Amino acid sequence: MGRHKNITANIFPRQGTFLNKKVQVFFHYDTNKTIGGLVVRDDVEEPNLTIIKLSDNRYVLGEECQYKDES
């Protein structure tokens, strides 16, 4: 662990515009079955992770699903 220079006890990747936004999450491009979520991490620099907390308290990576702004 600890392989990204911009993640330390005091440094974290710069965050993007989706941070703290409510989103609708769906899987396998099935937009008929969505679940609400909240973006809790939206890196705009390495390691470029997006993490979403689903309304049922599970967490998924942005690369494991598709999502769109709830508004």
Confidence grade of residue 6 (pLDDT, cut at 50, 70, 90): confident
Q: How far apart are CA 32 and CA 21, in angstroms?
A: 21
* 56 vs 70, residue with greater confidence: 56
Main-chain phi, psi angles of 8, to 5 degrees: -140, -175
Percent of the chain at pLDDT > 70 equals: 97
- Walk across the sheet containing 35-42 and list its strands: 59-61, 50-54, 35-42, 22-26, 66-69
CA dist., res. 63 & res. 29, Å (int): 12
**Model pLDDT for residues 29-45, shown as the tens digit of each residue:** 999 999 999 999 999 99
Prediction pTM value: 0.91
pLDDT for the residue numbered 1: 59
